[in-house]
């Protein structure tokens, strides 16, 4: 059996330099390779002519560029959204979404194949958990979107990454943070910390670790209900990390880092979209640096709920603002016709 080749997208710039040092190659060549990977967005060693032949030979023998072949792609009729089903080296697959907004492009990337959290309205949760992604598999999704933009000669380069695709990022903490370090490298894709958002269903140990490490990124926490019973009915993991423990962790995070948290609330008609629900959210978040992201439910095959009407969403938003001075936004619904919306990503179908 041949040895497993190293995925170059797993390496930070320092780690790549150290690898070349062990091989007896100049750090100049490591820097050149890094530029090929993240500035030229090269997808083969043949596309790296400035590397000496001996370097390219060693690389081709022992490493690989973790480009992810496209198994399927679809463009939404909204004209702003494209979804990719990307194949991993072991035959598994993940979905990644390219989203265009005014003046910017965002990549929604996955952190796991499937998800173990089991949120009842989420297609990824419905498919179950298969495995974690490596740092390189996370990075390669962003590189794929950046390369697609360049090939299409689009006017905007990749500016934002949201870890809101398949999987729970804080369940795969080390790989996700390693990937973020690579994505933020100023000599590479150079994504600013303020342009990276991580969404968690409420993995309390991960939130507390983020607080201790004071990592500069945007944190979004999925609430969906303001009582323990209501939340546990939608988010089964709430039985492991109850609402009071989650809110204590969020308070610690904000006090330690000085950063606000984006609290996500999926609006489900008749379940959590009433005026009373809005006031319960306001009370729950009172005194915390917070913004509420209101997300009308996106349909999935495994959940029978329906999205709230826009009038109810506006009332909900008005109560948060007028009675609690809480800023909020209603999430733009994108890519629903290709199942690219929040909570719709899965590899079946």
The SS3 of residue 337 is helix
Q: Which DSSP string corresponds to 38-78?
A: HTS---SGGG-TTS-HHHHHHHHHHEE-----EEEEEE-TT
Q: Say how far apart CA 170 and CA 116 lie, in whole Å.
A: 11
Q: Residue 61: which residues within 8 A CB-CB, separation 6 or more?
A: none
The SS3 of residue 165 is coil
Q: Say how far apart CA 297 and CA 349 lie, in whole Å.
A: 20
DSSP state of 268: B
The torsion angles phi and psi of 96, rounded to 5 degrees, stand at: -135, 140
Q: Say how far apart CA 332 and CA 146 lie, in whole Å.
A: 22
Do you know the residue count of the chain? 349
Q: Say how far apart CA 265 and CA 251 lie, in whole Å.
A: 18
Q: Which residues belong to the active site?
A: 95, 342
Q: Say how far apart CA 215 and CA 220 lie, in whole Å.
A: 14
> At how many degrees (to 10) do helices 13-22 and 27-38 cross?
140
Which one, of 209, 221, 214, 215, lies nearest residue 284 by Cα? Answer: 221
């Amino acid at each position: 059996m041949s040895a497993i080749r190293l995925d170059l997208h797993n390496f930070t710039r320092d780690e790549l330099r150290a690898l070349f040092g062990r091989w007896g190659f100049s750090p100049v060549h490591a820097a050149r390779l890094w530029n090929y990977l993240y500035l030229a967005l090269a997808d083969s060693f043949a596309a790296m002519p400035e590397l000496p032949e001996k370097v390219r030979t060693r690389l081709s023998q022992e490493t690989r560029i973790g480009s992810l072949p496209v198994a399927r792609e679809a463009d939404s009729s909204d004209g702003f959204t494209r979804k990719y089903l990307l194949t991993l080296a072991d035959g598994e697959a993940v979905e990644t979404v390219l989203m265009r907004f005014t003046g910017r492009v965002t990549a929604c990337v996955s952190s796991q194949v499937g998800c173990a959290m089991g949120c009842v309205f989420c297609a990824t949760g419905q498919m179950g958990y298969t495995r974690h992604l490596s740092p390189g598999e996370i990075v390669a999704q962003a590189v794929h979107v950046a390369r697609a933009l360049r090939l299409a000669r689009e006017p905007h380069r990749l500016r934002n990454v949201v870890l809101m695709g398949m999987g729970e990022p804080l369940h795969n903490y080390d790989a996700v943070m390693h990937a973020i370090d690579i994505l933020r490298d100023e000599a590479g894709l150079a994504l600013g910390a303020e342009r990276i958002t991580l969404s968690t269903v409420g993995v309390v140990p991960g939130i507390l670790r983020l607080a201790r490490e004071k990592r500069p990124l945007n944190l979004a926490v999925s609430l969906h209900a303001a009582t323990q019973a209501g939340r546990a009915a939608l988010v089964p993991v709430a039985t492991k990390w109850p609402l009071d423990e989650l809110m204590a962790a969020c308070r610690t995070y904000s006090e330690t880092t000085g950063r606000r948290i984006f609290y996500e609330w999926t609006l489900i008609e008749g379940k959590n979209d009433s005026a009373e629900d809005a006031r319960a959210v306001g009370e729950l978040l009172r005194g915390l640096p917070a913004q509420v992201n209101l997300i009308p439910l996106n349909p999935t095959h495994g959940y029978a709920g329906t999205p709230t009407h826009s009038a109810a969403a506006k009332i909900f938003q008005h109560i948060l603002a007028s009675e609690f001075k809480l800023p909020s936004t209603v999430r733009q619904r994108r890519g629903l016709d290709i199942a690219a919306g929040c909570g719709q990503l899965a590899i079946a179908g």
